[in-house]
Structure 1
Amino acid sequence: MSQEPHLTDPDEQLGRVISQAKEAAALAGVDTRAGVDPEENAQALVHAGKTSFAFELSGLSSATIVGEIEEALSQLNGVDARIVYPSSTAWVSASSTFDPQSIVDVFARFGVDAQLTDSSLRRRVAWSDVEDGRFRRSVRRHRRRASKEQVEQEERQFELARRQGFLERQSDHRRRQASTQVLFTARELITKKRFWVSLAFSIPVLIVSYYPWMQFDYWQWVLAALSAPVVFYGAWPFHRATIGGARRGMSALDSASSVAILLGWFWSLAAMLFSRVGDIGYRADPTWASLSPDQARTGMLFFDVSCGMTCILLAGRLLIRHTRNNLLDDLDRLRTDHNTKVTLVTRHRKNPKPVETSVAVQKLNVGDDILVGPGDLVPVDGVVIGGSSTINTEALGIEPREVSVNDKVYAGSINGDSRLKIRVSHTGHRTWLAEIYRWVADTNVNQNMADDLATRTASTLVPVSFMIAAADFALWALITGNLTQAFASALAVLGGVAPVALAVSASLAMRQGIEGAARRGILIRSGNTLRALDEVDTVIFNRVGALSSGEMHVETVTADRGENLDLVLRVAGALALESDHPVSRALVRAAREARDAQHTSTIPNWIEVSHYELDEDGNFHGMVELPIQNSDGEEELRQVEAILWRPKNLSELDGRLAQAAVSGGTPLVVRWKGKDRGVITLHDDAKDDAIDAVDALEQMGLETMMLSRDTYPVARRYGDTVGVSHVLAGIQPANKAQTVRSVRTHGARIAMVGDDSVRRCFRVANVGIQIGAMSHVQTASAIEHSEADVVMLEGNVKPIPQLFQFARKINRVVHSNIAFAWGYNFLAMLAAIAGVLHPMIATVLMLVSTLYIEVRSNRVGSFAPVSNKAEADNQRIEGSQVA
């Protein structure tokens, strides 16, 4: 064996080391050709630069681990991280080519879930465009120095790297599972294939077992072989759940059925080995519905029970899965994938002709114009700027509508039969569809946590059934001396117990009710909200936003003696110009009409306002330029302080202004230079359905109140129009929350109804109901952290009484479900202990009880209130619809 000569020359040793390094680099896929300029590579790395990543963190339970996580992140090459604990946000600086998944993995080691923010994702998409250009330039350079095969290989590696990028691996961290998931059998394991295989093996077992003329020599051994796949393959999901629960010190809900299936098979196998049941000429004559003591004395096989119980459980789970509709799955189908191509319309300065290009949805920006064809899904929230069509907004639970230019459209809507040109307002996670998805996902998480106690309580029924079955077996064996009959009775106890029915008796009805309401445009926070709605005895409406239509008009203008009527109105319009409140819009509109109609030069066409201010009482302050007489009797423009304010009570005005303030609608007082110059009253009609809604609430026994800033005579007059029982008048916006709290301290259980302007009142009420969310909030994400417990997307009032009826109905269903589940389990165990219940019949009854609760709970969703007016007019909720 030859040895390599010893190299003494340092240059030769260095050359050898370099050669080995190049070979290793080539095996790793690194280009080591001499043609590559090292300086060029260094400049490319410097030009790559750094970028910042923002992560939203969940699971950051303590501030003590922040330092440890930052230290772990700093160990990554070129990574600098700062974690803001109060906002659960992480800011990370790293190379633009750095894979964020490495950062996510570091957070995962500490039990923290990190998700890139939308802005970070957009920067990565923009950077990918830059990299595409660099890649194309590098390809042209490499073509001059490398073979075509190598370039194609690099292209394939690059495309593979892009497909494995972070954007493809992102997941929604909101769809979390509850801690009780182990108590239920895994849905993924219960498949149609498993059911059909089990049924195919079970049919001959059942036929031979129940028809003696089909029995032949060694038939019982054939049944043992045929039933083995059913017991160990078909029933494996239930066995797996039992094992998983035992490892965690809990009882899976299907543990009783799993143990019954195994015991029935092993008991039958032992009977064939150690009794005459296994004889060649043995024949059985079983009964279908009851236990025969005579048959039990001669021996009995339970292969049929094990197979039948398995098939019944599998069929029941598949049927339940088919009948349940998951709203998140439905919304997922309507969410546009970020790689979906849309038609983007652009214009260039040099070429005014519009150009249509196909781009991915993730590359759309606010202000872009896109085309949506007939029957296509609208991918963004936006405003129609061309065309008209019918939009199906069923995904959002709002009323389908005809849209034309300047009308809003929403992501998830389906376009009708005409093409629309839409200007993008919101994309991605900022759309209303995404917000509804997040709301429902968070609701499911909260509901899962709330149902944890109910599920664990139901799981305690399993060990109780084991103890009852063991005691039943012992008593039957002692009294009758017949072990077979004792075992059959104990098997019926295990087969008839229904902990699943008990576990879902409350949670399923609540979940279906919440999702049913969300499908109709009403978002409910949790099951606790429905329970609180059932206990409410007082409903407080905020007048503006809840009962009024929102469109106001100037009714009367009254000037004090010696004052100019038009000037009073013009000053009010100038002070209110910066506000979007309905009152302000009405004043500005009336002031402009007065300016266009005036024929005098004593009032300037434009009244300048400076030092504008809005105080906590909602009064407008500012410095205005008005024509004021000087000492010579001549008029000149001077800046004076002006206030537009609303009186709280009658003592703040006197004379003709006091009379004007209480004689009409909502009064506003105009003051400048410290003197009240006039009163403007505004009128707003009540919503079309407000009177019917208030009347329905009164008939349900609920007390109705109305909050208003107006003086009592004005507010009382408006309250009589809509029919509310009590009026809380003269309440300034800053004092509305304290007023609601005062009513609650008197023992009332309050539901506060209003728009986003009374969100502070939602905090102090038992239940906060926000209406007209799509009209009053600036962005959809504003409702994610809303203080309201119920958010109605549209502004109709008629669904309010339906909402209370719906809550009462759900709570009745929940209470009756719980009573039925406990009653069934008690009676089933009693019949099994008495020996009158066959194990197979016990299993059928268990499935029937579970399906009964499923059907009752699923029906609840169809009685949810509707937020759109067309459906609300057609829907009538009767108290006896769910019995």
Structure 2
Amino acid sequence: MERNADQVTAAIAEARSAADAAGFGDRDARGDDPDIDPADRPKVSYGFELEGLTNAPDVADMEIALEAVPGVRARIVYPKATAWITAPDTVDPDVLVEIIAGFGITAVLTDLSLRRRVLRAMPGEGLAQRTDRRDRRERSPRRGPSWKIRRHIEEEARLLERARRAGFLDSELDRLREPETAHPDDVLFTARELLTPTRLVIALLLSIPVLIMAYFPDWQFDGWQWASLALATPVVTWCAWPFHRALVGGLRRGLTALDGASSVAIIAAVVWSLVMLLLTSAGDLDWRSHPEWFAFRHSRITDGELFLDVACGMTVLLLAGRLLTMRTRGSLLDEVDARRPGPHHPVLVVPKGRGPGSAPADERIPLQEVNVGDDVVVTAGEIIPVDGVVVGGACTVERSMIATSEVDREPVKVNSYVYAGTRNLDGRIKVRVVYTGHRTRLAAIHQWVSDANRKQNQSTLLSTRTASLLIPAALGVAALDFALWVLIAGNFNAAFATALAVLASVAPVAIALSPALAIRHGVESAARNGVLFRDGATIRRTETVDTVVFNRVGTLAETDMTVETVTADRGENPELILRVAGALALESDHPVSRALVRAAREARDAGAGGEEIPHWIDVTHAEVDSEGGFTGLIDLPLAEADGSVHLTQVEARLWRPQNMSELHGRLAAAAVSGGTPLVVRWKGRDRGVITLHDTVKDDAQDAITELDDLGVDTVMLSRDTYPVARRFADRIGIDQVLAGIAPAKKPQSVRALHTRGATVAMVGDVSVTDTLRVADVGILMGTDDQVDRVAQSGHADVDVIVLRPDVSAVPQLIWHARRVCRIIDHNIIFAWTYNGLALAASVAGILHPMAATVLMLGSSLLIEARSNSARNFPR
């Protein structure tokens, strides 16, 4: 017993030591004795996000500097720019921040570390001090954590509440926490929630009298300039607050606000006007203004000049432009959210186990409680909340937001498959749930498009970087322009007017929006038409595609294949050959295998071959070799020399010939005379050839013609022999054929095209995922279920997912990518040309500040309109 007690005591001591090292020790139990070695004190773990960590060699030096503090252990993860530091509880984290700042790097505590810092006691306090401090804090509610820490905690609580209300788990919370524009070199947009119609209406009502009095001298009365100041004050303060807030927020965060120049121009115009009113004759009650539109005709400062009209007009135009932009910039994600029922949406479910004598009433339960296999009732006018199969009733459903066919309305009946988000227009149907919640196609598309937009927002685009540099450049040009006009012309009014025009004319919003908005519209419009681009970079790569490689099965041909001919070698039974092929292919879901199994079962059910052919052939040790052939051991009835028949286990193989040298005689002729050939072999000898017929998709030939018109070369990959593959390609006009390519060698074939300088888009189903990976653009086509599952998993090997079964989607998506990129390129050229000409005209004194504001807003709206044209997807 004594030995066990000693072991327990030692284990407890070891556990306490480990807890102290991890930061979970009891400080009160240990005491706050300053003589305790720092290495033996309780530890606290901190996580820091590092901003500005660009050089890996700094990591080692930084760790050494941090660990110079007694008891500190530091580990810096360079790729994630994160520092994990364990320090004694007496070390203030601000000390660690200062050490890191010495290397020119800003360290910010993670949200979890901030919360831990708030909840734990301050360094050096014992239990009594902590209790006394808590009592004082309760008596004085104004005391507490700093506003920064409170803001972090409140934000965490809001995110958690949003996730809880939406029914999401921790993974969704992490996604909500991820910032939309997190790059440190990004620009700061004006907060959309502050751009309200109320601000615009008030600004417009107050600005109209100011503009009338400024531009029509007959309306000027004694003291009109002071009335203009009174009217302009709420306009340039409260109404223009969104732009001022963006400017202040950008200065505080070290970012460039896109509306920063406009905010500076408004403030400068008001300050200048105040100076004129207070220090010059412009403040006299009988003063009158005669504004000129050109700087070189402005009077000297002794005559005075006010720019309240510019400040008010700029505010009104900016508010109107931003509100117009917000109203015309619809989002697919918002529409999906509006169409998709929430987790608490009541759903009418048919209870299980209804018998002839009992008929329990249907019950309504929240959507989040619906399980796979439940039967959901959807009446006329309701939105189908799940993916599933119709097991009762009939109705007409409207075309979904994600179009996968040309029809606007589609009748559904028993055994039809329906998708969540589709509206039932008439009738009553009962749907058996196959997928629900985040597993539905609509949720998968929402997640895919959301990820694409987030990747686009977080990418370091050249446009946002140049836009962030345009504001400081404009401020510098305005200051230099003012100084030169004062030195050369000696005219302060002209100098200020030209400087104000410089600030009013720059349009960084146009530069920042020129690629981002067009790409977003391009991604969403493609998604509406059943084509999912992974991100904007994929659109850019698709634009440069000059060669499209089709995997024949699953893309150019229908998924259903049929057995065309069965050619047996001399002395062999064709029915036995078909049964063996069906048995070997039984476990595969490939279209070829399904055709063989279906034909073998039909022949068995029809009694073909008589009693000599076994009705069922068992296959053991079934395998698929590297070339896609099926092998296994089967029991076959073999006749002996004396005429007796008995079952013998033999090795059989079902394989596809890749060239003509592998077959001879009548089997070789049969392999090239029809459709896709398969050879059946057992006991080391080829027994027969089965050819399969696959129907070319109706639009395949038109799609290939459209690709030719786009200047894109077309190539077809096939495992068939060259004569068979060439004959299929000639039916639809494909340029090149790569025949006899085993599945394992298809990626090498695509790489070979790269060596010839081609930019390749590979089109195929899930059976050639490895080949999609090696192409410049991997385009997935296939059955609905296969495509849906890949879309939900966000497969990294796929760049584009085509939800439609038609081949015409391939030329359409290439044409769409080229058009979107053309819009982006033209927008960038226009934006830079405008900014250059506008700055030159402003400096020269040709452009009035108000006219500069109109041109700036007009350029942004023109960029917006051109970007909105990316919504048009070719049909």
Which letter maps to 1:856? Answer: R
Matching residue within 703, 706, 725 for 1:696: 706
Matching residue within 789, 798, 808 for 1:788: 798
2:554 is matched with which residue? Answer: 545
Do the aligned residues in 2 keep the contact of 1:182 with 1:244 (CA within 8 Å)?
Answer: no
Whether 1:235 and 2:245 are equivalent positions in the alignment is no
Do the aligned residues in 2 keep the contact of 1:756 with 1:773 (CA within 8 Å)?
Answer: no
**Residues 1:164 and 1:378: Cα distance change in structure 2 (over 3 Å):** closer
Render the CA deviation track for 1:460-519: whole Å, top value 9, x for unaligned: 111111111111111111222110111111111111111111111122111111111111
**CA separation in 1, counterparts of 2:198 and 2:823?**
35
SS state of the match for residue 693, structure 1? Answer: helix
1:219 Cα deviation (Å)?
A: 1.6
1:509 is matched with which residue? Answer: 518
Whether 1:858 and 2:863 are equivalent positions in the alignment is no
**CA separation in 2, counterparts of 1:425 and 1:787?**
26
SS state of the match for residue 779, structure 1? Answer: helix
Structure 1 length-normalised TM: 0.78
Whether 1:395 and 2:405 are equivalent positions in the alignment is no
Do the aligned residues in 1 keep the contact of 2:262 with 2:504 (CA within 8 Å)?
Answer: yes
Render the CA deviation track for 1:578-616: whole Å, top value 9, x for unaligned: 222111111122212222142621112222222222223
Render the CA deviation track for 1:192-244: whole Å, top value 9, x for unaligned: 11111211221121122222222222221121121111111111111111111
Do the aligned residues in 2 keep the contact of 1:291 with 1:837 (CA within 8 Å)?
Answer: no
**Residues 1:66 and 1:205: Cα distance change in structure 2 (over 3 Å):** closer
1:382 is matched with which residue? Answer: 388
Whether 1:359 and 2:373 are equivalent positions in the alignment is no
Which letter maps to 2:449? Answer: V
Matching residue within 256, 261, 270 for 2:261: 256
Do the aligned residues in 1 keep the contact of 2:439 with 2:792 (CA within 8 Å)?
Answer: no
Do the aligned residues in 1 keep the contact of 2:190 with 2:257 (CA within 8 Å)?
Answer: yes
1:9 is matched with which residue? Answer: none
1:173 Cα deviation (Å)?
A: 4.6
2:468 is matched with which residue? Answer: 459
Do the aligned residues in 2 keep the contact of 1:177 with 1:445 (CA within 8 Å)?
Answer: yes
Alignment of 1:413-452 (within 5 A): 413-452=422-461
**Residues 1:510 and 1:63: Cα distance change in structure 2 (over 3 Å):** closer
2:281 is matched with which residue? Answer: 276
**CA separation in 2, counterparts of 1:165 and 1:521?**
29
Do the aligned residues in 2 keep the contact of 1:768 with 1:788 (CA within 8 Å)?
Answer: yes
1:783 Cα deviation (Å)?
A: 4.8
**Residues 1:765 and 1:64: Cα distance change in structure 2 (over 3 Å):** closer
Which letter maps to 1:391? Answer: V
**CA separation in 2, counterparts of 1:110 and 1:711?**
68
**Residues 1:534 and 1:349: Cα distance change in structure 2 (over 3 Å):** closer
Which letter maps to 2:713? Answer: E
SS state of the match for residue 706, structure 1? Answer: strand
1:310 is matched with which residue? Answer: 315
**Residues 1:588 and 1:210: Cα distance change in structure 2 (over 3 Å):** same
SS state of the match for residue 207, structure 1? Answer: helix
Do the aligned residues in 2 keep the contact of 1:431 with 1:780 (CA within 8 Å)?
Answer: no
SS state of the match for residue 564, structure 2? Answer: strand
Do the aligned residues in 1 keep the contact of 2:441 with 2:788 (CA within 8 Å)?
Answer: no
**CA separation in 2, counterparts of 1:109 and 1:648?**
65
**CA separation in 2, counterparts of 1:250 and 1:363?**
46
**CA separation in 1, counterparts of 2:378 and 2:763?**
37
Do the aligned residues in 2 keep the contact of 1:558 with 1:565 (CA within 8 Å)?
Answer: yes
1:248 Cα deviation (Å)?
A: 2.6
Do the aligned residues in 2 keep the contact of 1:286 with 1:295 (CA within 8 Å)?
Answer: no
Whether 1:714 and 2:719 are equivalent positions in the alignment is no
Do the aligned residues in 2 keep the contact of 1:619 with 1:644 (CA within 8 Å)?
Answer: yes
1:561 is matched with which residue? Answer: 570
1:821 is matched with which residue? Answer: 831
**CA separation in 2, counterparts of 1:172 and 1:381?**
25
Matching residue within 764, 787, 796 for 1:754: 764
Identity of aligned residues (%): 52
Which letter maps to 2:243? Answer: F
**Residues 1:735 and 1:352: Cα distance change in structure 2 (over 3 Å):** farther
Which letter maps to 2:464? Answer: T
**Residues 1:657 and 1:521: Cα distance change in structure 2 (over 3 Å):** same
1:778 Cα deviation (Å)?
A: 6.7
Whether 1:196 and 2:201 are equivalent positions in the alignment is yes
1:482 is matched with which residue? Answer: 491
Do the aligned residues in 2 keep the contact of 1:347 with 1:354 (CA within 8 Å)?
Answer: no
**Residues 1:495 and 1:349: Cα distance change in structure 2 (over 3 Å):** closer
Structure 2 length-normalised TM: 0.79
Whether 1:638 and 2:610 are equivalent positions in the alignment is no
1:348 is matched with which residue? Answer: 353
**Residues 1:165 and 1:281: Cα distance change in structure 2 (over 3 Å):** closer
Alignment of 1:596-607 (within 5 A): 596-598=606-608, 600-607=610-617
Whether 1:849 and 2:859 are equivalent positions in the alignment is yes
Aligned residues: 726
**CA separation in 1, counterparts of 2:277 and 2:215?**
18
**CA separation in 1, counterparts of 2:762 and 2:381?**
40
**Residues 1:333 and 1:164: Cα distance change in structure 2 (over 3 Å):** closer
Which letter maps to 2:733? Answer: G
Render the CA deviation track for 1:514-550: whole Å, top value 9, x for unaligned: 1111111110111111111121111100000111112
**CA separation in 2, counterparts of 1:518 and 1:293?**
55
Do the aligned residues in 1 keep the contact of 2:550 with 2:556 (CA within 8 Å)?
Answer: yes
1:746 Cα deviation (Å)?
A: 2.1
Matching residue within 178, 181, 194 for 1:178: 181
Matching residue within 681, 685, 691 for 2:691: 681
Alignment of 1:760-775 (within 5 A): 760-772=770-782, 774-775=784-785
2:531 is matched with which residue? Answer: 522
1:841 Cα deviation (Å)?
A: 0.6
**CA separation in 2, counterparts of 1:63 and 1:308?**
46
Consecutive unaligned residues of structure 1, counting only runs of 5 or more, are 1-57, 73-103, 112-161, 866-874, 876-883
**CA separation in 1, counterparts of 2:81 and 2:250?**
33
What value does the CA root-mean-square deviation take over the aligned residues? 2.7
Which letter maps to 1:379? Answer: P
Do the aligned residues in 2 keep the contact of 1:174 with 1:442 (CA within 8 Å)?
Answer: no
**Residues 1:590 and 1:206: Cα distance change in structure 2 (over 3 Å):** same
Do the aligned residues in 1 keep the contact of 2:632 with 2:653 (CA within 8 Å)?
Answer: yes
**CA separation in 1, counterparts of 2:79 and 2:367?**
38
1:650 is matched with which residue? Answer: 660
SS state of the match for residue 460, structure 1? Answer: helix
Consecutive unaligned residues of structure 2, counting only runs of 5 or more, are 1-48, 51-76, 90-109, 118-159
Render the CA deviation track for 1:559-583: whole Å, top value 9, x for unaligned: 0111111111111112112222111
2:789 is matched with which residue? Answer: 779
Which letter maps to 2:372? Answer: V
**CA separation in 1, counterparts of 2:354 and 2:558?**
44
SS state of the match for residue 244, structure 1? Answer: helix
**CA separation in 2, counterparts of 1:439 and 1:646?**
38
2:377 is matched with which residue? Answer: 371
Choose 372-381 or 528-537, whichever is displaced more: 528-537
**CA separation in 1, counterparts of 2:252 and 2:563?**
73
**Residues 1:754 and 1:528: Cα distance change in structure 2 (over 3 Å):** same
**Residues 1:168 and 1:443: Cα distance change in structure 2 (over 3 Å):** closer
Choose 348-357 or 374-383, whichever is displaced more: 348-357
1:208 is matched with which residue? Answer: 213
1:410 is matched with which residue? Answer: 419
**CA separation in 2, counterparts of 1:164 and 1:547?**
45
Which letter maps to 1:373? Answer: T
2:134 is matched with which residue? Answer: none
